[in-house]
Structure 1
Amino acid sequence: MKHIILLLLITQISFAKTPEQAAIASAHPLATEAGHRILAQGGNAFDAAIAVSATLAVVEQQSSGIGGGAFWLLHRAKDGKNVMIDGREEAPAKAHADMYLNEAGEVNRDLALNGPLAAGIPGEIAGFEHLAIHYGRLPLSASLQPAIEAAEQGFKAYPRLIRHIERKQNILRRYPASMAVYLPQGTVPEVGDLIVQPDLAKTLRAVAEHGKAGFYDGEIARLMVDAVQQSGGIWTLDDLKSYTVKERQPITTTYHGHTLITAAPPSSGGIAIATILNILSAWDLTDMDRAQRIHLVTEAMRRAYRDRSIYLGDPDFVEIPTQLLTHPYYAEGLRAGINPDKATPSDLLPGIGDVPKGEDTTHFSIIDTEGNLVSATLTVNTGLASGFIAAGTGVLLNNEMDDFSAKPGEPNAFGLIGDQANKIEPKKRPLSSMSPTFVFSDDQVAVLGTPGGSRIITMVLLGLLDFFDGHPVDSWVSKPRYHHQYLPDRLYTEKDAFSPELISQLEAKGHEVRASKGTWGNMHAAYWNRQTGEVTASSDPRTTTGSAVVK
Structure 2
Amino acid sequence: MIMAEGGNAVDAVVAAALVQTVVDPLMCGLGGMAVAQVMTRESEIVVIDALGQTPSQIRPDIWLSDYLGPTPDGFGYQVRGHRNETGAESVMVPGTLKALANLHSRFGSTPWADLFADAIRIAKSGWTVRPYVQATLDNDEAKNGRMNYADKLLSTPDGRRIYGAADRPPRVGDVITNPELSEVLRHIAEHGSEELYKGAIADLLASSVQRDGGLLCIDDLRHYTIHELRPLLGKYRGIGLSMPPQPAGGIQTMQILGILNEFELSGLGHNSSAHIEVLSEAMKRALQDKESLWQKSDVSEDDYLSLLSSERAKTAAEAIRNSERVQVGRVHEDSPNTTHVCAIDEQGFTVSLTHTLGNPSGYIPTGLGFMLNGGMSTFDPRPGSVNSVQAGRRRNTTACPVIVFDESGPILTLGAPGGSLITPAIVQALSNFIDFGMDVREAVLAPRIAATSNAIDLSNRISRESEAALVKRSYEVRRSPMNYAFGAVHALSKLNGSLEGAADPQRDGHAAAVF
CA distance in 2, matches of 1:458, 1:356: 14
How far residue 337 of structure 1 moved from its aligned partner, in angstroms, is 2.9
In structure 2, distance between residues paired with 1:356 and 1:311: 12
Matched letter for residue 484 of structure 1:
A
Report Cα offsets for 1:31-74 as digits up to 9, x if no partner. xxxxxx22233321111121011111111122211110111110
How far 1:105 sits from its partner (Å)? Answer: 6.4
Alpha carbons 1:265, 1:431 under 8 Å: kept: yes
Whether the 8 Å CA contact 1:380–1:397 is kept in 2: the answer is yes
Contact 1:73–1:82 (Cα < 8 Å) also in 2:
yes
Q: Does 1:255 align with 2:222?
A: no
SS at match of 2:512: strand
Return closer, same or farther for 1:313/1:216 CA change in 2, 3 Å cut-off: farther
Q: Does 1:234 align with 2:200?
A: no
Q: Distance in 1 between matches of 2:264 and 2:88?
A: 49
The change in CA–CA distance for 1:472 and 1:424 in structure 2 (over 3 A counts) is same
* 1:282 aligned residue (262, 273, 295): 262
Partner of 2:202: 221
Task: Map 1:125-164; keep pairs closer than 5 Å.
Answer: 125-164=97-136
Equivalences for residues 160-171 of structure 1 within 5 A: 160-167=132-139, 168-171=149-152
Cα deviation, residue 433, structure 1: 0.2
1:490 and 2:455 are equivalent in the alignment: yes
2-side partners of 1:317 and 1:516: how far apart? 36
Specify the SS of the correspondent of 1:207: helix
Sort the Cα spacing of 1:507 and 1:265 in 2 relative to 1 into closer, same or farther, 3 A: same
How far does the alpha carbon of each residue in 1:333-367 deviate from its partner, in whole angstroms, 9 at most, with x for none? 333333444533336xxxxxxx5999410111200
Distance 2:324 2:302 in 1: 31
Matched to 1:549, the amino acid is A
**TM-score, length of structure 2 as denominator length:** 0.89
Amino acid at match of 1:201: S
Aligned pairs (5 A) from 1:80-479: 80-103=43-66, 106=69, 107-108=78-79, 110-167=82-139, 168-267=149-248, 269-289=249-269, 290-311=272-293, 318-341=300-323, 343-346=325-328, 355=330, 359-382=336-359, 385-407=360-382, 420-442=385-407, 445-468=411-434, 469-479=436-446
Q: Distance in 1 between matches of 2:33 and 2:418?
A: 15
CA contact (8 A) 2:154 2:163 kept: no
CA–CA separation in structure 2 for the residues paired with 1:55 and 1:322: 35
**Structure 1 residue 95: Cα displacement:** 2.4
Distance 1:421 1:433 in 2: 16
Deviations 1:469-513 (A, max 9, x none): 11011112212121123xx4222233x143333222112333211
Unaligned residue ranges in structure 2 (runs of 5+): 70-77, 140-148
Report if aligned partners of 2:251, 2:305 keep a CA contact under 8 Å in 1: no
Equivalent residue runs for 1:521-536 within 5 Å = 521-529=487-495, 531=496, 533-536=497-500
Matches within 5 A, 1:12-31: none
User: Match of 2:236, as an amino acid?
Assistant: Y
2:204 aligned partner, one-letter code:
L
Aligned equivalents of 1:81, 1:483: Cα separation in 2: 33
In the alignment, the residues of structure 2 paired with residue 98 and residue 151 of structure 1 have an alpha-carbon distance, to the nearest angstrom, of 40
For structure 1, which runs of at least 5 residues remain unmatched after alignment?
A: 1-36, 348-354, 409-418
| Inter-CA distance 65–341: structure 2 relative to 1 (3 Å threshold) | same
C-alpha distance in structure 2 between counterparts of 1:427 and 1:317, whole Å: 16
CA deviations 1:374-413 (Å, max 9, x no partner) are 111111124xx111111111120111222333448xxxxx
Matched AA of 1:548: A
Contact preservation (8 Å) 2:449, 2:486: no
8 A contact 1:295–1:343 mirrored in 2? no
Please give the alpha-carbon distance, in whole angstroms, between the structure 2 residues aligned to 1:334 and 1:342.
Answer: 9
Aligned ranges 1:30-45 → 2 under 5 Å: 37-45=1-9
| Distance of 1:465 and 1:484 partners within structure 2 | 16
Shift of 1:317: 8.1
Q: Secondary structure at the match of 2:3?
A: helix
Matched residue count? 488
Match of 1:539 among 476, 479, 503: 503
The answer (yes or no) to whether the contact 1:478–1:540 under 8 Å persists in 2 is yes
Distance change in 2, residues 1:356/1:157 (3 Å): closer
Q: Conserved in 2, the CA contact under 8 Å of 1:73 and 1:374?
A: yes
Aligned equivalent of 1:63: 27
Q: Identity rate of aligned residues, in percent?
A: 29
Displacement of 1:259 in angstroms is 0.7
When structure 1 is superposed on structure 2, of 168-177 and 465-474 the one drifting more is 168-177
Counterparts of 1:299 and 1:164, CA distance in 2: 30
TM-score, structure 1 normalization: 0.83
8 Å contact 1:462–1:481 — kept in the other structure?
A: yes
Displacement of 1:246 after TM fit?
1.5
User: Hey, what's the Cα distance between the residues in 1 that align with 2:353 and 2:53?
Assistant: 18
Q: Distance in 1 between the 2:299 and 2:167 partners?
A: 44
